[in-house]
Structure 1
Amino acid sequence: MHTLNLGILAHVDAGKTSLTERLLHTAGIIDEIGRVDDGNTQTDSLALERQRGITIKSAVVSFALGDVTVNLIDTPGHPDFIAEVERVLSVLDGAVLVVSAVEGVQAQTRVLMRTLQRLRIPTLVFVNKTDRAGARYEQVLRAVHDRLTPHAVAMGPAVTGLGTRAAHSVPYADDDPRLTRRLTDLLTEHDDALLGAYVEGGEELAPARLRAELAAQTGRALVHPVYFGSAVTGAGIDALSRGIRELLPAAGGDAEGPVSGTVFKVERGRAGEKLAWVRMFSGTVRTRDRLPFGQGPEAVSEGKVTGIRVFADGTDTGRASAGPGQIAKLQGLGGIRIGDAVGDTRAAATGHHFAPPTLESVVVPAPPASRGELHFALSQLAEQDPLINLRQDDIRKEVSVSLYGEVQKEVIQATLADECGIDVTFRGTTTICLEKPSGTGAAFEIIDKDDNPFLATVGLRVDPAPPGSGVTYRLEVELGSMPYSLMRAVEETVVDTLAQGLYGWRVTDCTVTMTHSGYWPRQSHSHAVFDKSMSSTAGDFRNLTPLVLMAALGQAGTTVYEPMHRFRLELPADTLGPLLPALAQLGAVPGAPAVDGARCVLEGVIPAARVHGLQQRLPGLTRGEGVLETAFDSHHPVTGTAPRRSRTDHNPLDRKEYLLHTVRRSGNGAD
C-alpha cells in the first residue's frame, strides 16, 4: 500500500466538506453521508463548526482507495482561517481544489491556486454542485483556464442535465480523440521528447503514453486535470477517485532512514496534555523514543514520546510506531510548537505562504477580574494558531489579538465561552500597519560615560533593507569582544524592541549593525562575593539596547506602511462613471477598465481599511449588479498623517520615563 496525504481546499461554501463525506462513503468508511447544515459530518467535529456550518480547524481522516491509503485533510474555506490552510500545505503530497459550478472561481480560489502552484503541489480541480440551479459548464471551465491556470484539461465532455439532480458527466475514455488531442497539445508544451516523438511519428501518440505522461506532469504540478460532478449526488466521484489514485504522487521516504517530520497542528487532549500532529517524511518514531524537535539547530529541545496515534480506516488508532508518509499524533513533547520539525530540525517549516493578519482588536474580559484566566486561555489558543499573535500591554493591562476578519473574532469569542467559560467582548477592529526606516541612523552609549546608568557599551546603526527582507542583525565588532551571553542579549533585545517603532508599529525591512561593544568583567571587592554593581550582566545590555536602538531609529526616521488589497470589480459599464469618484474618496488606485459590451472589469488596489466601505457603497453605485473580489496585495506608504499605535512598553523614546522604570534603585547597574 502507498500513502497519499491529500488536501481538500476551496473557497467557503464550494462544498469541500461534502466532497470529503462523499469520498468517505464511497470508500466504505461511513454508512451515511453527513450534511454540513445538519452538523453531522466526520471532519467538522467542533461544536462551533456544527453550529455555524463551516470548517474552522483542519481535520484528518484516512481511507483506502484501491492500493493507496489516503490521509485526507479537510481545511477551512473561509478566508478568516487561511492560517489553518497554511499549516497544512507543508505536509501535502497533492491537493483537490474545489470550485462551485454556481459561484465559479472566487477570489479565495485564486489565492489558493497561486499558492499551490508556487509550492509546486500537484493539484486536481473538482467543479462541484453541477446539480444546483444556476450551475454552469463552459463559463466555469473558461474561468478555470483564464483565472486559475491555462494548463487545465477537462477530463470529460459537457455535463448533461446541468442544474438538476440528474446532472452527470461521463469521463472521456483514454482513447477518446477529444481527450487525446487536448492532451497532446498540452503535454508537449512541457516535454520536448514527447513533442519530438509526435512530430517524427507523424501520427497520434498512444493513449497509454499520454496517460502516463499526464500522471508525470500532474505530479510535477505542470498540468491540472479538471473534473465535474456533485458531492451530494455522487456524480463524477468515480472519475475523481481514479484521478486521485492514478495521477497524484504517493508519499515517499525511507522507514529505516533518519527521523524527519513536520508539526502542522497542536491540540490539547482531555487531560490537558499537548498532542502534536506530525506528518512523517522519513524514519520511524516509536513509543518511548527520545525525539529532538524545534526550528533550526539553535532552537532544539528534546522530549520522550509517551503515546502515538496514527490515522487509519476513518479514525486515529493507538500504535507502537509511525513511519514515513503517515500522519500521527505524538504525545509527550511538552514544549513543541506548530512549524517545529521532529528528528531532523533543519527541516522546520519556514516563512509564510499567505499574507499575515492585517487586523487587530483588544479582547476585553467580563468581569475584569478574569484577566489572568483570559491570558492563559488565549495563550492556549495561540498554541493552536500562532498567527493570532498575542500582544500584552502590561501598562494598560490589556491583551490584543491579530485577526484576518470579523468571523474569526466571533469564533474566538465563542471558543472562549464554550471551552473556557470566559465571556469576552472586543473593541473596534483596527488595521495593522508596518514601519520601515526612511534612511540611516546611528547611536551609541559608552559604559560609565555621561548619563549612561548601565554597565554596558552598545552602539547600533540602522539601515534600510530591500522589501520583504525582514530584520537582519550584523556585527561590526569582533564576536570575542564580549562574552557570548552579552552579545546574544543585545541581538535578542534588538528583535524585541523592533516590535514597536517610532509610531508604535513593528519595524521591518532593515539591517541593524552593532558598531560598539564593551563591558566590565565579573569582579568583586577584596575577599567578597560577586558584586553586580561592579560587573556587567545581561540585564545591563537588555536595558540599554532599547535606548540606543530607538535613538538610531529616530535619527533614521521611519515611514508607516498600510496593507493594501488588490480588487477586481465586475459591473455594468454605464455605472463606471459614478464609481470612479467613490474609489478616489476611498483611496483606491484603479487600473485601466476593460469594457466588453455592457459589462466592465476594473482592477486596482485599495487600502485594507477601506474595503468594508467599498462593499457597503457598491450596491448603490452599481444598481446591485457589481461583484467585488479582494485579496491582500502588499504594503504601501500611508498618505497623509501616519496612524499611531499605543505602546505597550516603558517607551525608550522618552529617556526620562524609561530610566525611571528600568534603573535599579539600589545602584547604577541593572538586573
Structure 2
Amino acid sequence: MLRAAAKIPRRGCLYRYKSSVATTIEDPASALSAEIKRLRHIRNVGVFAHVDAGKTTVTERMLALAGIVHRAGSVDEGNTVTDWLPAERERGITIQSAAISFQWDWHNNRKGDDYEANDSVSISLIDNPGHVDFSVEVNRTVAVLDGAVLVVDAVAGVQAQTETVWRAMTRPSLNNHNPVEHTVERQDHAHEPLPCLAMVNKMDKEGCHFGSAIASLRQKLPGANPIPIQIPLFRSSSTNKAGIFPYGVVAASANDDAAGGGLSGEFVGLVDLVHMRAVLWPESSNVSQVENCVPQTIQLLQPVTHAAVDPDCQVTQQALSARSNLIELLADCDEEIAELFLAEQEPDNATLRMALRRATLSRKALPVVTGAALRGKGIEPLLDAIADLLPSPLDRLPPALVCLEQGQNSSEKPGSITVGHPLHPQVLAFAFKVVHMKGRGGSGDGRVVFARVYSGELRERDCLRVLSPPSPGERTVVPRIERIGSMLELAGGRFDRLESGVCRSGEVCALVGLKSVVTGDTILMGPEKGNKKQQKKNNSLICLAGVAAPKPVLKVRLETDSTEQQTALLDALSLLTVEDPSLVVEEVESSTLLGGLGELHIDVTLDRLRREFGINVRAGSPSVSYRETIIDDMETAGLCNFDKTIGGTRMQAAVHLLLEPTWGDESEDESACMLLFEPIVAVSDRAKTYLGLDLESSDEDLMLRSELFKSVVQGCQGAMRRGPLSSYSMVNLKCTVLNIEAEEGLSSLQAMPGSLRAASANAVATVLSENRSLCTVLEPTMSIEVSLPNDYVGTVLSDLSSRRGNVADILVGETGTNRVASKALVRGEVPLVGILGYSNSLRSLTGGEGAFTAEYKGHSPTSISL
C-alpha cells in the first residue's frame, strides 16, 4: 500500500544521488532525512520471463508471503491476483501487465545484520506478459521500473522471449527515453538500463539443471555476467552422512555438468552463499497455504570462528566451493572484493552483500537465485535479494526531459538536484498505462491512469497539466488541464480507493478522473496561485519522451451485423487503442481493418470486444503487413520536370533527388531481417539555398517555419507511401533532394507551394518506376522455437521447409540421463505468412506433444511474387 507523508521542504545541502551508500546532508534530523529513508526502502520491480516460465506463480507466492492474499492462487485454476482478465484466466497466460504494492520484512536484517533500522521495504511489483504479442506491455513498464527479476525455466534455460525482454531492459536507447538535442541537462540523465536479478525456477521439474540454466544466461544474454548466490539442495537416493542435515540431502553445483548441476531427486531447499546458511522447506500437500511452507534454516559456519559446523558434510563442502567461486567472480566486478581476494582475506557477510549490490546496480553482475515457486520454495530468499540488491529510486538517474520551449534552459544551480529526481519538489509523473473500468473513472468511459511519480507528489483534487510528446516537426502541443478525482491503490485486478489520497516521489499509483490522458503523456502540476516566480518555474514546458509502440505485422478485416453495431465497434476500438498503442485501426473502403502483433493479439482483442462491449464481430482471414524498399542507389536523370496547368493555374518545378537504402550495411546477406524505419527525407544545402532557407537552422525548425521546405518533405513522403511493385509503403530508405529549380523563379514557388509538393512527389514516383528492378517487397519474418519429441524432428523440419523456413539450430534430447530425454528443440526463422494457424498443424504432426513460440524478428526480402 502506498503511504502518505508531509511535503518535503527544500533545505540542506543536496547532492545528486548515484548511490544510496554515499550521501551528504547538513541536517540529519530534518524532514529531508526522513524522506531519504523512505525512498531507500522503495523497490519498483518488474517480473519478466518467457511464456510458462512461472513469473505469475512467483508473483502469487510473493503476495501470499506478504499477507496480501490468504492463499497463493494458481494459473491452472484461474484464481491469481494479477491475471484478472477473463481471457487471462481461461488461457492461463498474462495479457496485461498488473501492478500491486506490498510490504516485505527484510529478513536478512531482522536480527541486526548491519542493517537493524532497515527492517521493511515497500515493493511495487509489476507482473508482465511473456508472450511476444503483448510486448508493448513490457516496453512501457520497463520505462518506469527501477529493477527487474528475470525468471528462467530450469529445464529450458533462456528461451526466445527471455532474450526479447532482456533487450528491452538493457537496450542502448535507455529504455523508452530517446536522448534528444534539447534536454534539460546532459544525455546521461536518461533512464539507465535496469539492474536485474535472475531466478532459475521450476527446480522441482524433471530434467532441471541449475548449471545449464546459468550457462544459457551467460551465452544467450549479451552483457550478462551471471553469478550464482545460491545453490539448490535435493533429497537424493545416494548414501549421504546425515550430520546436520536430514538423511539424503545433497547440494548441486552451479557448473554446467550433469554430475554437478543436474542432480536427480526431490528439490528440498537451497544454500544462501552470502550468509552460508541452508534453507529447507517441508513437503506439504497444501502448498498454497503459507503456514504449511515455513522453512527451516541451518547455519553452515560457526558464528564467531566461521569454521564449518560439519566439515565432512557434502552440502558444506559444496557450499564452501561455490562461495569461493562467488568471491572470485565478484572480484572481477568490485574493487573492494578484488583487494580482499588478492590478499587472500575472506570478506564478511555485510561486505560481500554490499559488493553484490554495487555490482548489480552498475549492471556488472547478474545475481542468480533458485527455487520452485509452484511448491512455495525459494521465494523468501528472492524477496530478500530484491531488498538487498535491487535499486531504490535514489539509486537511479532522473529521466530524460525534452524541452518544449525555445531558449528554455535548466534553472537548477550546478550541483543541485534536477527535475525528476525524487528529492525535487516540482511534480513530474509519467502515464505508462491506461485501462478502462466501468464505474471507476470519472471520464464516462471508466479511464484509470497508471502513473510513476518521479518527483514531487500528487494528491486527490490536484489540478494538473498534461503534455503529449510532439512528433518530429510537429508544433508544441498546448498543455491540457486535468483534475485528479481520486486515487486507487495497486492491488492487481482489485482496485480499492487509496485512503491517504497522496502519491509521493518514487511511487506508482492509479489515477481516476483524467479524461484525456493516454499512454506516454507527461503529468505536471497545474497553474497555481501565489508566488509568480515559483509559478513560472512550475509552468515550464518539459516532458518525457514517451513510449514507442511496435508496428503491427498482421491485419484482419472486421464486420458487424448492423450500422449501430458498427458505430459501437468503432467506439470500443478507440478505447482499446488507448489501452494498447500497438493496436492500429484503419477505415478503408467502408470496412474496418484491425492491426496487431500476432494471431493471439488479434484473438484476445476480438474476445474482449465480445465480452466487455457485447459486440458480435466477424473477422476475416489474417493478412500480413508487407512493405517495399530499395536494394541499391537510384537517382533522377538530372532535374525531373513537373509542369501541369490545373484550373487555369500553372504548376511548374523541377527536382533532382537521390534514393539510397539505409539497411545495406547491416548485413551482406540480402535475406537478413531488418527492423522497419520510416523513410528519411533530407534537403541538400544547394536546394536550401535556392529556396532562400537558413542553412544554420535544423530541419525540425524549417518544418515549422518554412512552407516551401515542408512542401518538399511532405511531397517526397507522400510518394513513398506507395511502392512501385505492389503499392505497399516504402521503408528503410533515404531520399535526398539535391537540387530544385523553377522557370519563373523562387517567387512562383512561394506563391504556389503546392507545385513544389507535386514536383517532389513526381520525382520520387518517376525514379522508382524507372528502377523497379532495384526494388523489393519485404515480408515479416518470425524467429521460431519449436519444442517436440525426438521422434518427430524429421517430420517437423520437412514441414518448416515447405513453409519457407530456415532452420538455424537443432538440439536433440539425450537419452539415458536425468534430463528430459524425449524432447528436442528446433530454432529458426519462418515468414509470418507461413506459420498462420501453425499451432493446429504442429499438434497434428506431433501427436499433440509439440509446442512453439514465435517472435517478430524483422522484415526480409521475399522470394515469392505477391
TM-score range, shorter chain: 0.7 to 0.9
Query: Does residue 404 of structure 2 align to residue 404 of structure 1?
Result: no
Q: What code does the residue aligned with 1:262 have?
A: F
Query: Does residue 789 of structure 2 align to residue 565 of structure 1?
Result: no
Q: Deviations over 1:125-152 (max 9, x none)?
A: 2233444566554554444444447622
- Correspondence for 1:277: 450
Q: 1:590 to 1:41 in 2, by over 3 A?
A: closer
Structure 1 residue 251 displacement after superposition: 1.2
Q: 1:493 to 1:183 in 2, by over 3 A?
A: farther
Structure 1 residue 93 displacement after superposition: 0.7
Q: 1:458 to 1:174 in 2, by over 3 A?
A: farther
Secondary structure at the aligned position of 1:337 is classed as coil
Structure 1 residue 179 displacement after superposition: 4.2
- Correspondence for 1:586: 803
- Correspondence for 1:646: none
Q: Structure 2 residue aligned with 1:45, among 84, 87, 107?
A: 84
Moved more, 236-245 or 25-34: 25-34
Secondary structure at the aligned position of 1:390 is classed as strand
Q: In 2, distance between residues paired with 1:327 and 1:125?
A: 23
- The count of residues paired between Structure 1 and Structure 2 equals 626
- Correspondence for 1:340: 521
Query: Does residue 364 of structure 2 align to residue 222 of structure 1?
Result: yes
Q: In 2, distance between residues paired with 1:51 and 1:318?
A: 33
Structure 1 residue 249 displacement after superposition: 0.3
Q: 1:21 to 1:573 in 2, by over 3 A?
A: closer
Q: Are the equivalent residues in 2 in contact too, given 1:295–1:345 (CA < 8 A)? A: no
Q: Deviations over 1:313-353 (max 9, x none)?
A: 7455266554321223345654433223334645313556x
Q: In 2, distance between residues paired with 1:461 and 1:342?
A: 43
Q: In 1, distance between residues paired with 2:436 and 2:656?
A: 43
Moved more, 259-268 or 210-219: 259-268
Mapping 1:317-356, distance limit 5 Å: 317=498, 321-330=502-511, 334-343=515-524, 345-349=542-546, 351=548, 356=551
Q: Structure 2 residue aligned with 1:160, among 228, 234, 257?
A: 234
Q: In 1, distance between residues paired with 2:546 and 2:480?
A: 19
- Correspondence for 1:635: 859
Q: What code does the residue aligned with 2:484 have?
A: G
Q: 1:299 to 1:46 in 2, by over 3 A?
A: farther
Question: Normalising by the residue count of structure 2, what TM-score does the alignment of the two structures yield?
Answer: 0.63
Secondary structure at the aligned position of 1:218 is classed as helix
Q: In 1, distance between residues paired with 2:564 and 2:767?
A: 40
- Correspondence for 1:554: 769
Q: In 2, distance between residues paired with 1:280 and 1:127?
A: 32
- Correspondence for 1:302: 479
Q: 1:139 to 1:335 in 2, by over 3 A?
A: same
Q: Are the equivalent residues in 2 in contact too, given 1:565–1:605 (CA < 8 A)? A: yes
Query: Does residue 706 of structure 2 align to residue 484 of structure 1?
Result: yes
Q: Structure 2 residue aligned with 1:293, among 439, 462, 467?
A: 467
Q: In 2, distance between residues paired with 1:86 and 1:592?
A: 28
Moved more, 587-596 or 115-124: 587-596
CA-based RMSD of the aligned residues comes to 4.1
Q: Are the equivalent residues in 1 in contact too, given 2:139–2:547 (CA < 8 A)? A: no
Structure 1 residue 431 displacement after superposition: 2.0
Moved more, 68-77 or 115-124: 115-124
Secondary structure at the aligned position of 1:640 is classed as coil
Query: Does residue 431 of structure 2 align to residue 263 of structure 1?
Result: yes
Q: In 1, distance between residues paired with 2:518 and 2:732?
A: 26
- Correspondence for 2:134: 81
Structure 1 residue 40 displacement after superposition: 3.2
Q: What code does the residue aligned with 2:465 have?
A: L
Q: In 2, distance between residues paired with 1:493 and 1:419?
A: 43
Q: Are the equivalent residues in 2 in contact too, given 1:441–1:555 (CA < 8 A)? A: no
- Correspondence for 2:558: 363
Q: 1:113 to 1:160 in 2, by over 3 A?
A: same
Moved more, 263-272 or 297-306: 297-306
Q: In 2, distance between residues paired with 1:283 and 1:569?
A: 49
The structure whose RCO (Cα within 8 Å, separation 6+) is larger is 2
Q: Are the equivalent residues in 2 in contact too, given 1:362–1:398 (CA < 8 A)? A: yes
Q: Are the equivalent residues in 2 in contact too, given 1:94–1:123 (CA < 8 A)? A: yes
Q: Structure 2 residue aligned with 1:430, among 619, 623, 630?
A: 623
Q: Are the equivalent residues in 1 in contact too, given 2:140–2:547 (CA < 8 A)? A: no
Q: Deviations over 1:426-458 (max 9, x none)?
A: 111122222113433558665765899786858
Structure 1 residue 61 displacement after superposition: 0.9
Query: Does residue 733 of structure 2 align to residue 510 of structure 1?
Result: yes
Moved more, 48-57 or 86-95: 48-57
Mapping 1:167-186, distance limit 5 Å: 167-175=268-276, 177-186=320-329
Q: 1:254 to 1:144 in 2, by over 3 A?
A: closer
Moved more, 620-629 or 109-118: 620-629
Q: In 1, distance between residues paired with 2:659 and 2:429?
A: 38
- Correspondence for 2:568: 373
Q: What code does the residue aligned with 2:660 have?
A: P
Secondary structure at the aligned position of 2:519 is classed as coil
Q: In 2, distance between residues paired with 1:412 and 1:426?
A: 11
Q: 1:581 to 1:24 in 2, by over 3 A?
A: closer
Q: Are the equivalent residues in 1 in contact too, given 2:99–2:490 (CA < 8 A)? A: no
Q: What code does the residue aligned with 2:659 have?
A: D
Gaps of 5+ in 1: 524-533, 644-671
Q: In 2, distance between residues paired with 1:595 and 1:50?
A: 33
Q: Are the equivalent residues in 1 in contact too, given 2:558–2:593 (CA < 8 A)? A: yes
Question: Normalising by the residue count of structure 1, what TM-score does the alignment of the two structures yield?
Answer: 0.80
Secondary structure at the aligned position of 2:385 is classed as helix
Moved more, 498-507 or 587-596: 587-596
- Correspondence for 2:94: 55
- Correspondence for 1:661: none
- Correspondence for 2:833: 609
Secondary structure at the aligned position of 1:127 is classed as strand
Q: 1:458 to 1:28 in 2, by over 3 A?
A: farther
Q: In 2, distance between residues paired with 1:613 and 1:272?
A: 35
